[in-house]
Amino acid sequence: MPERRTVALVTLGCARNEVDSEELAGRLAADGWELVEDASDADVAVVNTCGFVEAAKKDSVDALLEANDLKDHGRTQAVVAVGCMAERYGKELAEALPEADGVLGFDDYADISDRLQTILSGGVHASHTPRDRRKLLPISPAERQDASGVALPGHGAAEQPAPAPADLPEGLAPASGPRPPLRRRLDAGPVASVKLASGCDRRCSFCAIPSFRGSFISRRPSDVLGETRWLAEQGVKEIMLVSENNTSYGKDLGDIRLLETLLPELAAVDGIERIRVSYLQPAEMRPGLIDVLTSTEKVAPYFDLSFQHSAPQVLRAMRRFGDTDRFLGLLDQIRAKAPQAGARSNFIVGFPGETEEDLAELERFITHARLDAIGVFGYSDEDGTEAAGYEGKIDPEVVAERLAHISQLAEELTAQRAEERLGETVEVLVDRIDEEDGPVGRGAHQAPETDGQTLLTGAAEAVPGRIVIAKVVATEGVDLVAEPLPLESGACTQGAAR
């Protein structure tokens, strides 16, 4: 009888990392590893790190150190770093953090089971050597789909065609294609992310992501559909499409409008009640895409738009496009088609050269934009980015002041936007039943974890995964409080079906 091997995956960062962790879980489960939820119950703790900004990197280091502490008083024998921070820093991270027994990059994912077994057995696997992943794929997007031997987390390995196992362990995604991704759900909730693409071809001067995530490459529609069908069979009701830039989907497949045709197909998958698209670039928004997002049944009229700033001078320094009036015009186009549409964005303050006038222009934009959720970040230099070499750096104390000011304004404005929804009818997907608050879910304008939630009052029959039609009766900051409409009005759907 094979020796019992247990592994826990600790995931930090964005929804894309969550997808990558479930791919790793699938590969490990297929090779006989037992997945456990608590790192203290695992032989190996795998920490999927985030390497986006300093705060996220600190959280990743803290998680690795916390897992390492378990080796003194728990079952844990080894701690391994994977994910963006491991990919970005590799050997440097290993040297700075000897508590990690291994630092694995994306190229190790296809052989994750062997790598962990080597480390668990006391062997040493050479730490990942970072490289600019933009150079791994052809410059021309049209030639990228034929590229082989490039690791694309969340896409599955394509370098070694292999037949699918005759009998997959229960809970693993089915095979489709030459060597499909094996995915194991780590969360039993009714929402799951599906990776639409990886990488980014944009060259924003503040962002290091393309250097360690690589150039943009789309997943084929058949793979996205197949994974969505499997997730629906697992009880998932809402799919969130994620990538570094969903508006570029299909450009390397010969059809920049491919997302417009894919969305209705995804919405038609049996069991799926809501499709949500995240990570949209304002400069790439198309009238046809707006039409599909605002008029397709089961597709949430939700716009996660990456504005970053609205002052022209700052945007040009960021190597981005647009300005306050153009961005407000885009939001007007959206709301003309779907007045209740949700909109959110993130902003950077204190960018090199940002003036008080630029900050006032940003204030003008967010004051008139009526965004449902706003994330605000203070600028800090990121290794290897163009902006790190810019002159005109702003004193950190001034950056902190601007961050506090815009953050407070954003909090007030998003609370006001929530109040505007009083009296609206919302479709609330129940996420969980809270012991104190009862059913808790989200309207179509609320993405998981980032955009607030909706508390349902008097919805005794509501269960996770069910959609409840309700009327907004109160607000708590960005959160809504809603009362289910009478059953004859379609208040609580059966089995989450309308």
Is 204 annotated as ligand-binding?
yes
Reference 303, options 276, 274, 265; nearest CA is 276
Determine the straight-line distance between the first and last CA of the chain, rounded to whole angstroms. 49
Kind and range of the H or E run holding 376: strand 373-378
- Residue 282, Cβ neighbours under 10 Å: how many? 19
- Residue 335's SS3 state is helix
Neighbouring C-alpha atoms within 13 Å toward the C-beta of 116: 32
Torsions phi, psi for 365 (to 5 deg): -65, -55
On whether 207 is known to bind a ligand per the annotation, the reply is: yes
Give the per-residue SS3 of 156-204.
CCCCCCCCCCCCCCCCECCCCCCCCCCCECCCCCCEEEEECEECCCCCC
As a residue count, the chain comes to 498
**CA 271 – CA 497 distance, rounded (Å):** 8
| Residue 80 burial (10 A CB sphere; 0-12, 13-18, 19+) | buried
Cβ proximity of 79 and 48 under 8 Å = no
200 is in an annotated binding site: yes
Strand order in the sheet with 238-242: 191-195, 238-242, 274-277
- Is 50 part of any known ligand binding site? yes
Beta bridge partners of 347: 308, 376
Task: Cite the annotated binding site for [4Fe-4S] cluster by residue number.
Answer: 14, 50, 84, 200, 204, 207
Task: Cite the annotated binding site by residue number.
Answer: 14, 50, 84, 200, 204, 207
